[in-house]
Chains A and B, each alone.
Chain A
């Protein structure tokens, strides 16, 4: 079996500890499978934090200032609400405010379904995109994660990595789909990239040909010509992300894409309600069916 995203994160972390005096910090790292097998099962360089969310990210900031290039594991993105302040008010502002860097990689893990319920479901990268000084990305493949890690080591910025448990067993790359006969260009983020793939296939079966562009870097967002030209060609686009739409990543990216091309780009995210723990009350990543229906509506 090829290497999965979880394997990739674990191996990158192991090498970071061994080769760069790096350190990974977080709560309950060693418990129940070392964070879905993404943390190396070792004590060296692995720091179990007490259950103190606000101070915990402050500790990570201090480790960054001490030169340890820490990796802070946030086991549910819901904990980001508590951990946010040192990340955005110290690490992200450090270079602008103090003139010295505070390199910190935040592994923010999103999950959904399975009874995670109203608070522990979903990703919250949109709120971090709002703040200056903090690059935000959402890798979903082994190769993308390697690129993200290389970026962390070769720059001195903090970095918020919006992970999703749905990606951990993924062992394949996700190439863009661009076709000359496409009538709409779909841009997908995070776990919506997997459902978007299915939506594109389903629509193709119904005779609707779509481009699919995978977005990894959410901020700074600098779409390449290869990402913009398909939108120019189709004239219509849709950004889909598994976060809420209002002030969310999908609308922000759609605006930037529209500004860059002069084309109409719509946005799609979660339903505007809290998810429930029971399956019938959940609010999951936009499904292939929802995405396909939205594209069909755009084309009408």
Chain B
């Protein structure tokens, strides 16, 4: 069996030289702000579950936050359909933070009234659609929304495991056949729970997508690169972006099997520092952590008082 996880699993896959440096500083800092908020949020969720404050299943995206941040920079105004590991997607696309905190705390004011925990988080009024917990199930739903003619593009995000679901593959084919306004984004962390891609399949999603007649790129999770391709492909939909990224914690819960193959978050901070934005990025990181902390404290107080 060939190994689709090698040699493409590198932090430089598809790199475009000078992309970050060519971006306006304000845009780069906003990109990092979204990453910092998502990371601070999921790290807080992890602590909150370990402390017993959060009692639902949680799917943490620490390590993968660059994907949602980059995507959101190029696809604002879209319908967004992610899946269970979706906190970063929700926050990066402007989902209201208090609603997702309340959801994880099981409060009636949660975006699902406490019904679902992590997977079904949504902010429908802002275009973020809920997921029912079955991996990849959001992809045909997203294709149906793209068929619906809402005059709004659709972005759907799924993992490399979900990409193998029959209904995901046929969704790609249907979108290609009908030239639907939809961007498929695979957060490819090379793991289905803990089974690596090489033990599951030989094919690569981007190649399959091209076979269906769609434009597709296979890149690493450099957020400037993700934003670049998102912006470019939103004018040429349907299209696929397969993003190689690293999950730091277990599929579900708070455990860890050690650091990922690369640490994109630290790489982005280093890049910002090299671009002369070190002080600003540290301030953003600090403010993100303080904001997340303050909102959790506020929501916990409301829960205690109710």
Contact = CB atoms under 8 A, between A and B. Distances in A.
B151 to A, nearest CB: 10
Interface string B132-156: 1110010111111111111000000
B113 A99 contact: yes
A89 interface: yes
A235 interface: no
Nearest to A52: B170
A59 B166 contact: no
A100 B143 CA distance: 19
A96 interface: yes
Interface string A77-116: 0000000011001100110111110000000000000000
Nearest to A90: B132
Interface string B160-173: 00000011101101
Contact of B140 (A86, A99, A100): A86
A63 B148 contact: yes
Nearest to A104: B144
B124 interface: yes
A67 B150 CA distance: 8
A58 interface: yes
B138 to A, nearest CB: 8
B82 interface: no
A47 B147 contact: yes
Interface string A35-68: 0000000000001011010111111111111111
A85 B144 contact: no
Nearest to B119: A97
A62 B166 contact: no
A97 B148 contact: no
B130 interface: yes
A58 B171 contact: yes
Interface string B102-122: 000000000111011000101
A67 B148 contact: yes
B130 A97 contact: yes
B142 A62 contact: yes
A90 B141 contact: yes
Main secondary structure of the interface of A (DSSP, over half): helix
B141 to A, nearest CB: 4
A47 B146 CA distance: 13
B137 A52 contact: no
B145 A66 contact: yes
B27 interface: no
A49 B133 CA distance: 25
Contacts of A49: 174
A59 B111 CA distance: 24
Interface residue tally of chain B, by bracket?
Answer: 20 to 34
A50 B174 contact: yes
A99 B112 contact: yes
A142 to B, nearest CB: 30
Contact of B144 (A54, A65, A98, A100): A65
B134 A59 contact: no
Interface string A248-292: 000000000000000000000000000000000000000000000
A57 B141 CA distance: 8
Contacts of A99: 111-113
B100 interface: no
Contact of B141 (A47, A61, A67, A93): A61
A55 B122 contact: no
B129 interface: yes
Interface string B9-31: 00000000000000000000000
B177 interface: yes
Contacts of A89: 132-134, 137
Interface string B228-263: 000000000000000000000000000000000000
A50 B148 CA distance: 16
Identify the interface centre among A50, A58, A61, A93: most chain B CB within 10 Å of its CB.
A58
Given A98-B120, A98-B122, A62 B170 contact: no
A44 to B, nearest CB: 12
B170 A65 contact: no
Interface in B148-204: 148-150, 166-168, 170-171, 173-174, 177
A65 B145 contact: yes
Contact of B148 (A55, A68, A93): A68
Which of B132, B133, B144 has the most CB atoms of chain A within a 10 A radius of its CB?
B144
B143 to A, nearest CB: 6
Closest 3 CB pairs of A and B: A62-B144, A66-B148, A58-B140
29 contacts: A47-B147, A52-B173, A55-B139, A55-B140, A55-B143, A55-B166, A55-B167, A55-B170, A60-B144, A61-B140, A62-B140, A62-B141, A62-B143, A62-B144, A62-B148, A63-B144, A65-B145, A66-B145, A66-B149, A68-B149, A86-B141, A89-B137, A94-B130, A97-B115, A97-B116, A98-B111, A99-B112, A100-B122, A100-B130
